[in-house]
Structure 1
Amino acid sequence: MTILTLTTLLAGAVPATAAESIRLRRDGHWLYLERSDLPGGPIQINYLEAYCRAGSTDADWVKHTVIRHTNELVAASADGRELRMKDTLTDGLVVEHTITAGTDEVTFELVAHNPTAARSEAHWAQPCVRLGPFTGFPGNGPRGDLNDYLPKCFLFLKPEGDPAGAPVLTRMPTPVWELKARYIPGQVWAGPGVPRNDVNPRPLNPQTPANGLIGCFSADESMLFATAWEPYQELFQGVIRCVHSDFRLGGLKPGETRRIRGKIYVMKNDVDALLRRYEADFPDRAR
Structure 2
Amino acid sequence: MVRIHRYIEIFTKFIFPPLVVNDIETARNILTTLIAGGISILVFSFSMVMLLLSQAATNYSPRVLPSLISNKTHQVILGGAFLSSIIYNIITIIGIEPSGKDYQIPGFSVLIGIITALIALAAFVYFIHSISTSIQINNILNNIYQNSKSQLETEIEHDNGKKEFPDSKNWKTYNSIQSGTIQNISSTSLKSYCADNDIQLEVLFHKGEYLIMDSPLFKCNKELDKEEIDEILKNFLYQESEIVKDNYILGFKQITEIGIKAMSPGINDPGTAINTINFLTDLFAIRLKNLIIPLS
Report the TM-score, using the length of structure 1 for normalisation.
0.22
Q: Which one has a larger percent strand, Structure 1 or Structure 2?
A: 1
Report the TM-score, using the length of structure 2 for normalisation.
0.21
Q: Which one has a larger percent helix, Structure 1 or Structure 2?
A: 2
Tell which structure's C-alpha radius of gyration is larger: 2
